[in-house]
Structure 1
Amino acid sequence: MRRTLFSTCLLCLLALSLSFGVASAQPHRVRLALDWVPNTNHTGIFVALERGWYREEGVELQLLPFGGVTPNLLVAQRQADVGISGTESVLHAAAVGEPVVAVAAILATNTAALAVRSDAGITRPRDLDGRLFAAIGVPWARPVIEAVIRHDGGRGDFREVQLTTASFDAVLEGRADFAWVFEGWQGVIAERAGIDVTLFNFKDYGIPDYYTPLLTVHPEALEDEEAAAALRAFLRATARGYTFAAEHPDEAAELLLAAAPPGSLPDPELVRDSQRVVSRSLREPGRPWGVQRPEFWAGERSYPRFLLAAGVLTDVGGDPVTELPLETLFSNALLPTEPLPGE
């Protein structure tokens, strides 16, 4: 009887240990909200998916397609674990009381610029005075453009029009004089179309450098042990994907084309050409992927402080927000601290 009871206890202990082993082996389920259809800003994610690196980290990744709700709102409402966003959107979320935290910079530097046709007689930003801007429907565009023009000695006086077509298409077609673009996508489109364009990069005309796109999470996820572990695993695989893309743009483009949903990337050559441009901005020399500089967020002359001073951030009641706890809106704490496989 005692021997039977002892054997039964051993079997129970063995079952418990096996059950705990199974529980610990359960994958981290991470929901990632995309900010647009798949494109070369997302390449590192699709590289990691295609290579099985999320699986190696124990991450079961679910991609949430871009829809009518912003990624930051999905993150704030716990309908997504990670979102793809930008500095302006992080500031907006904080201003309306639904803050998120930026945990990794997808691009290490801002590639936004104002684009004009090279045959339009516009050779420098001050020539944009009196010209027509193809508006993009965001409140921070005007103060940024005004500052760029004034930095070059102009008045910052321009007109704008909201069009039903893409703003850059309006410039290429001659229906507007300039547009807000990103070098790695619209710049490549113009080159492939054989249309010469001139780009005035914001960084060259007084606008502080900032991060877009970037990855955001809910603030409480940094304090929750289980959530933080899942996010660290997710970011290890993601960092590996983007590091690969930085070093092997051609192969990374092929992996993106292979992994993206059918029909989402109808022009493979555009993807390949774009990736070669985007990959140059994925990392700062001598720094690992994803790391954010504190001065980009909370420095005395940072872009967030520029937007706060411009009065374009408002709370839910529409009142201007002139102060935010900028130091709490970003964190490098979840990024890999050990060398990535292959480094």
Structure 2
Amino acid sequence: MVRNKRWMSLVIICAVLLVVAGCGNKEKPNNEGASDSNKPAAELRDVQVMLDWSANTNHTGLYAAKDLGYYEEEGLNVKIVQPGAGGSDALVASGKADFGVSYQESVTLARTQGVPLVSIAAVIQHNTSGFAAPVDRNIKKAADFEGKSYGGWGSPVEEAVMKSIMEKDNADVSKVKMINMGDADYFTAVKRDIDFAWIFYAWTGIEAELREEKLDMIYVKDYSEALDYYTPVLVTSEKMINEDPELVKAFMRATAKGYDYAIKQPEEAAALLSKAVPELDKDLVLASQKWLSPLYQDDAPRWGEQKESVWKGYADWMFERKLLDKPLEAGSAFTNDFLPDSP
């Protein structure tokens, strides 16, 4: 999965979010009260979860919770849907979807524009994205970007991140040739006209391993603590939290159990994802799941835990680089209140 395609979605989302901020009265009504885990199927409450991108191992816990009946135990009939062109944020903020998969950078931008999105769990504790290049391009550190061709989408955030880490190596981002990748995937693009791109290793990096195409990987978190942000995250709206907190608790109890299953039983969890989304490459799903499962919780006391220092650090980084119009009130952008003490 090429990281930059997500930034293109973010550009689209940003335009939509400005409109969504005034759409609070259009949200669908919520049923009141907690869900009864013993309800018959006919009485299960319909809940829609919108993904951020095509289904992949970032989402395994959701599919596990659905397949293993954890949502039904909480009285929920959960439908997992693919995002439209505008991504999940706008639909969650407007109440058209109950929950969604997003990213800290997207929620940060939304919050500073008055859009009431709230992150309720970090899917992965540490940023697994970075700049990847075939080994024959000899890109071993950020300074080696100079004179090379980068495939992206022209987002100001891409260049800001690249500039930030290149400065650590006393290098100049203006010496990088920026190329729009269009619809090409990473493997096509590096054979055609680029030297490196921003990817998530858990998917594209693992696919490279299966293809036996060796990569040099420069993780952005290794250059800056501020860039070790949460990506992806689960989100809902402030309205949902305020008006139906019991639904959020029920959803998170089941979801946490799903991710705990994926952590402890990666092979079985991979099989569940492949069953739910049969068009995915089963070998890639299995290899990716084995790599990613230990990283969901990592060094956190429980899956999903978020720190205010992480939210503030990345938002301050964005503001200093003029990627935000104003500072973020970090404490209001996320909550750990709906995470169960144990799955």
User: TM-score if structure 2 supplies the norm length?
Assistant: 0.84
SS of 2:156's equivalent in the other structure is: coil
Residue segments in structure 2 that go unaligned for 5+ positions in a row: 1-34
Equivalent residues of 2:125, 2:299 under 8 A apart: no
Match of 2:316 in 1: 305
* Residue 139 (structure 2) pairs with residue 122 (structure 1): yes
* Residue 164 (structure 2) pairs with residue 153 (structure 1): no
Work out the number of aligned pairs and report it: 304
SS of 1:66's equivalent in the other structure is: coil
More helix as a share of residues: 2
Q: 2:300, 2:102 → 1: CA distance?
A: 25
User: What is the CA-CA distance between 1:205 and the residue it aligns to?
Assistant: 1.1
User: What is the CA-CA distance between 1:153 and the residue it aligns to?
Assistant: 2.7
Q: 2:231, 2:162 → 1: CA distance?
A: 17
Match of 1:336 in 2: 340
SS of 1:217's equivalent in the other structure is: strand
Match of 1:8 in 2: none
Mean Cα displacement is larger for which, 94-103 or 227-236? 94-103
Equivalent residues of 2:159, 2:173 under 8 A apart: no
* Residue 299 (structure 2) pairs with residue 281 (structure 1): no
Q: 1:334, 1:29 → 2: CA distance?
A: 19
Equivalent residues of 2:133, 2:197 under 8 A apart: yes
Match 2:61 to one of 21, 24, 44: 44
User: What is the CA-CA distance between 1:305 and the residue it aligns to?
Assistant: 1.1
* Residue 155 (structure 2) pairs with residue 138 (structure 1): yes
Partner amino acid, structure 1, of 2:332: T
Match 1:250 to one of 262, 267, 272: 267
User: What is the CA-CA distance between 1:29 and the residue it aligns to?
Assistant: 2.8
Equivalent residues of 2:103, 2:230 under 8 A apart: yes
Q: 2:185, 2:113 → 1: CA distance?
A: 28
Partner amino acid, structure 1, of 2:183: T
Match 2:233 to one of 209, 214, 226: 214
Residue segments in structure 1 that go unaligned for 5+ positions in a row: 1-20, 314-320
Match of 1:271 in 2: 285
SS of 1:334's equivalent in the other structure is: coil
Q: 1:171, 1:200 → 2: CA distance?
A: 18
Report % sequence identity: 32
* Residue 205 (structure 2) pairs with residue 173 (structure 1): no
User: TM-score if structure 1 supplies the norm length?
Assistant: 0.84
Match 1:29 to one of 46, 52, 57: 46
Over aligned residues, Cα RMSD in angstroms?
Answer: 2.0
Q: 1:133, 1:107 → 2: CA distance?
A: 26
User: What is the CA-CA distance between 1:246 and the residue it aligns to?
Assistant: 1.1
SS of 1:134's equivalent in the other structure is: strand
SS of 2:203's equivalent in the other structure is: helix
* 1:145–1:167 CA distance, 2 compared to 1 (3 A): farther
Equivalent residues of 2:190, 2:196 under 8 A apart: no
Q: 2:256, 2:311 → 1: CA distance?
A: 21
Partner amino acid, structure 2, of 1:119: D
Match of 2:305 in 1: 291
Equivalent residues of 2:152, 2:178 under 8 A apart: yes
Match of 2:117 in 1: 100
Q: 2:45, 2:151 → 1: CA distance?
A: 43
* 1:165–1:198 CA distance, 2 compared to 1 (3 A): same
Match of 1:198 in 2: 216
* 1:232–1:103 CA distance, 2 compared to 1 (3 A): same
Q: 1:90, 1:139 → 2: CA distance?
A: 17
Q: 1:166, 1:306 → 2: CA distance?
A: 30
Structure ID, larger Rg: 1
User: What is the CA-CA distance between 1:64 and the residue it aligns to?
Assistant: 2.5
Partner amino acid, structure 2, of 1:270: L
Equivalent residues of 2:315, 2:327 under 8 A apart: no
User: What is the CA-CA distance between 1:131 and the residue it aligns to?
Assistant: 1.7
User: What is the CA-CA distance between 1:165 and the residue it aligns to?
Assistant: 3.1
Q: 1:256, 1:151 → 2: CA distance?
A: 40
Match of 2:26 in 1: none
Q: 1:207, 1:131 → 2: CA distance?
A: 25
